Amino acid sequence: MTTYYASTRRESFATSELPQRARIVVIGGGYAGLATALGLAERGETDVLLLEAQTIGHGASGRNGGFVFAGYSLGEASLLERVGSDDARWLYEATRRAMRTIRERIDTYAIACDPIDGGVLWANWFDDPRVLQARQRLLAERYGVHWPNVSRDALRAQLRTERYSGALFEPDAYHVHPLNLARGLARAATTLGVRMVEGARATGIAANGGAWRVHIGAHSIDAEHVVVCGGGYLGRLVPQLARALLPIATYVIATEPLDARLQECIATSAAVYDTRFAFDYYRALPDTRILWGGRISILDRAPAAVARLLKRDLLRVYPQLADVRVDFAWSGLMSYARHEMPQVGRLAGGLWFAQAFGGHGVATTTAAGEVIAAAIASSDDSYRRYASFGLPSTYRPFGYLGAQATYWWLQAKDALRARC
């Protein structure tokens, strides 16, 4: 399944051979692992080894919509209810700091990931302005963040569709080529001394005295610290972590280049997602394609099926594109926890983890990587802010059925609300 991102990959970096030991081993070459490794290197920790089972950015980090925005899969109101005002504000602000960190790294390391500082539009699918008003007021009053309102007419000047009734605009959000961002972060880390090994699937982790031993087939590596960042591709490497997450598929397509026709439907550099639980997300690409994503499923569908599903969704918003060809279609596995928050922390001694970032992974993975890097490098305890969410079991395989049923139920609620 070739993705648009793989076909436009530019960034490269040096790889290493497997050593016998490293002070810190990071498992997983997605954003969480890369942010941890680079965060450690920027703090002076140079004896860092990153292991990736496939290639850097192979998983969700190289397959997503490319949105860099604040927040978590758990909404802002629910976050306040769960942890209270102080922790909720700290956690939300951590994602805003992560957005700035990513942008600074793109500039500092000259990462060729096509950053577009166009903001993000949260478009109202429903003909009810209270949807936007409630979130706008909550963000301003409880988080100190202002998202300007975009009227129906102003929005239609940017998005040539009658589908939406208005929007909120997140001005400091941006979007990127996610695979090139991942590979650029890998290059940045290697220039600071981090060793990267692709095609190195960790098959076991065992306590070894006061340290750890990581097994890669018949090879083993001794380490003081191990950071597990496998996400939806973790498998059974650490059973306690595997039981606490559900790998869930999401789908993405990219159209053929539209050239001048792009302005007939999308006349903005902002990325877009809508107010439904089961929302669409999309953006114009630099080569005038439309990248369109959406849906959540326990099924990892074939490209042809993904193309049919998402083309149908696209035409519900932009029927004028009925004759447009879909050139790329793919899926990727996100990892979700029951509480819809990232799972970040320490299992025992020097065994750390960062996973379950859901559909908000670009900024949240960097936030997690930063707190783990700070904990290892300088004994900072900010990672404990995530502790209350824990590692509740997802009761696989029954959890898959529950997740799919919940999605269908919420999708039906969205449809009913749209008719009212």
pLDDT at 338: 87
Tell me the per-residue pLDDT of 103-129, one tens digit each, with 9 for 90 and over: 999 999 999 999 999 999 999 999 999
Is the model's pLDDT at 251 over the cut of 80?
A: yes
pLDDT at 197: 97
pLDDT at 300: 73
Q: Whole-model pTM?
A: 0.94
Q: Compute the C-alpha angle 76/81/82, nearest 5°.
A: 95
Distances (CA, A) of 82 to 77, 91, 190, 340: 9, 12, 39, 11
pLDDT at 296: 74
Which residue did the predictor score with more confidence, 361 or 93?
Answer: 93
Tell me the per-residue pLDDT of 183-232, one tens digit each, with 9 for 90 and over: 999 999 999 999 999 999 999 999 998 899 999 999 999 999 999 999 88
Distances (CA, A) of 36 to 210, 227, 229, 354: 22, 8, 9, 9
pLDDT at 420: 60
Alpha helices in 46-129 (DSSP H): 76-83, 85-108
pLDDT at 393: 84
Tell me the per-residue pLDDT of 391-418, one tens digit each, with 9 for 90 and over: 988 866 656 666 666 666 666 766 677 7
Calpha distance 270→282 (Å, rounded): 9
Percent of the chain with pLDDT over 70: 94
For the four alpha carbons of 353, 357, 360 and 361, in that order, the dihedral sign comes to: positive
Of all helices (H) and strands (E), which one includes residue 419? helix 398-419
3-state DSSP assignment of residue 38: helix
Going by their DSSP bridges, the two strands 67-68 and 174-175 should be labelled as antiparallel
Least confident among 64-73, 91-100, 231-240, 277-286: 231-240
Mean pLDDT of 31-44: 98
Domain ranges of the chain: 4-247+259-278+337-389
303, 326 contact by CB (below 8 A):
no
As given in the structure block, the two tokens for residue 261 are 């026709």
As given in the structure block, the two tokens for residue 367 are 């936030």
CATH of 4-247+259-278+337-389, one of 2.60.40.10, 3.30.360.10, 3.50.50.60, 1.20.120.520: 3.50.50.60
pLDDT at 238: 92
Closest CA to 114 of 255, 301, 269: 269
Tell me the per-residue pLDDT of 298-352, one tens digit each, with 9 for 90 and over: 677 889 999 999 999 999 999 999 999 999 999 988 888 889 999 999 999 999 9
